[in-house]
Structures are given as C-alpha cells and as structure tokens.
Amino acid sequence: MIKLHDIGVFYEEEMALSHITLTIKKGEMAGIIGANGAGKSTLLKVISGALKAEGKALIEGREINSLSATERASVIAVVPQEIPSEIPLRGYEFVMLGRTHRLPRFGAPGATDVAAVRKAMISTGTEPLKERFLSDMSGGERQRLALAMAFAAGPRIILLDEATAHLDMHHRVEIMHLLREMNRSQGVTVLMAVHDLMLAGRFFDRLILLENGSILKDGTPQTVLQASILEQAYGCRIRTIPLPDDLGMCIVPE
C-alpha cells in the first residue's frame, strides 16, 4: 500500500507538488494524468524515494526514506520514461540490472536470478533481444526491455513514468495487457503516469488527475474523464464520446 499525506515539493521556490494526500491500495491499478508540468513524474519520484518531499510518504506502512536501498528495490520497481541508447549493454545484461539488489557481490548471477530474467524476457517478448546491444535497438524495444527489467526484480509495486510513450499501438496495448495481467494474477500494485487519455480510460481502475501540482480529481475513469474536468486541467476544449463494448472513452480536442 502507498500512503501519501500532505506531500509538498518545491524546486527552487517553485511549487511542483502541493498538499497531495492519497492512498493507493495493494493490488490497485491506477493512472496519473495531467498536462505537462502538472507534477506526474515528481509524484512518482517521491513515491520511489528519489526525491525528498515535505509530508509523509509511506510504503507498506514504512516511511520510504527509512527503507534501505535493498528493501526499497525489492518492493518498488520503476520503469523510466526513456532508456538512453548509448549504454553499451546487451539486452540480457540490461534486464539483469533489475536484479541488482539481489545479485551476489562476487561471481555470476544465481539460478534464481537467471530464471527471473528469463521469465521476464519471455513475458515481455524481449527474448530475441537478449544478445543485441541497446544502441542497436529501437526506442520501443528498449522500453519493452525496461519493463522486463522491472518484472525481473519481482516487485510488489511497479511505478511507470510514461513508459509506453515510445511504443507503437500494438506494443502499447500489449504492455498494458501485460501490466493488467501482473496486477490481476499476482496482485502487483501498478501506478503509471500516462499522457494517452484513451489508454488511461481503457486500462486503469482509477485515475488521479493532477493540475499544477495538486489533485484536481481522483476516481474511476468514468468520473475523471469528463469533458469539463479535462478542459480545466488541459486548458483546451475537449469532447468525450463513450465507446461501446467496455472500450472506454474517445477523447478528442475540439
């Protein structure tokens, strides 16, 4: 469970997050939406412990900054927005980084580590990439590997910072299905900053809409993805059209 109480973050006197109080229950799949600069990535950084904030951030009942680096990494895995291409590692070595906190100090990775990496690569369809260097891959392939790296860690919480931004529609949907499968079958809590509102409406149980560092609306996709609310958050006229067969909402700017 993630519990935030009155979180505030300031970057050189500029407010990035203000009075954020929210609870993400164990096994929830929630999306964070909002315009650029609304505070989505900052909020994820606070939860991952990468950014110190005012207020209280609790992970499974413990203050995030009181967890050791190893404890933190065994609970939370983070999929970053982008993986730099110049890292001279092969796909397999890259995914193995997800096991950093569990690897032995000396010697080769253990059988458990190898099995976890293999499983993560199979589930994300990245096995054919294991011998290729990251520099020879497309942005989408690197992003899928980043997801495999997070899966390999065996976390209870996955934080994703616009992790599907570089993927085509096919891979985007595939990754979302994969996240939902992990969420449903293993009870992994998923919290993802997402720009694609239709994707957000389609795949998440709960959406948290941020505006200028504060929560504007928090609820189910049906309650959050209202034209009037989105217009306030994004500052443009928006039309929402409900889609049949539980396909979510079509959201188009006017």
Partner 1 sequence: MMTKRQIYIFSAGVVGACLILGLAIMCGAAGFGIPDLSSRTGRALLNLRACRIITGFVVGAALSTAGCVLQTVLRNPLAEPYILGVSSGASVGTAIIMATGLAATYPFLLPTGSFIAAMLTVVLIMSIAQRAGGSHMPQNLILTGVVTGSILSSVLMLIITFAGTHTVRSITWWLLGNLQCGSWELLTACTIPIILAVIYLLAHSNTLNALLLGHENAHNLGVNTNTTIPLLIVMATLMTACAVAMSGIIGFAGLIVPHILRRQFGSNHRFLLPGSVIAGGIFLVACDILGRVCIPPHEIPVGVITAVSGGPFFLYLLTRKQR
Closer by beta carbon to partner 1, 70 or else 220? 70
- Cα 113 → chain centroid: 23
The C-alpha angle with vertex 73 and arms to 11 and 59, in degrees rounded to 5, equals 70
Nearer to partner 1, 84 or 244 (CB): 84
Backbone angles phi, psi at 240, to 5 degrees: -115, 130
Give the binding site for partner 1 (CB under 8 A). 45, 48-50, 68-70, 72-74, 76-78, 80, 83-84, 86-90, 93, 96-98, 100-101, 103, 105-106, 108, 131, 133, 135, 153
Judged by beta carbon, residue 106 or residue 111, the one nearer partner 1 is 106
The edge-to-edge listing of strands for the beta sheet with 157-161 is 76-79, 157-161, 189-193, 29-34, 206-211, 214-219
Q: CB-wise, 35 or 114, nearer to partner 1?
A: 114
CB 241 to partner 1: min, Å = 38
Residue 167 CB, nearest approach to partner 1 (Å)? 19
Nearer to partner 1 (CB atom), residue 4 or residue 96: 96
**Nearer Cβ to partner 1 (80/140):** 80
Distance (Å, whole) CA 172 – CA 175: 5
Question: How far apart are alpha carbons 172 and 179 in whole angstroms?
Answer: 11
Q: How far is the CB of 58 from partner 1 (least distance, A)?
A: 18
Closest CA to 231 of 253, 200, 248: 253
| DSSP SS3 for 54 | strand
Helical (H) or strand (E) element with 57: strand 54-59
Six-digit token pair at 54? 């005012």
CB 8 → partner 1: shortest distance, Å?
20
Q: Closest distance between partner 1 and the C-beta of residue 129, in Å? A: 14
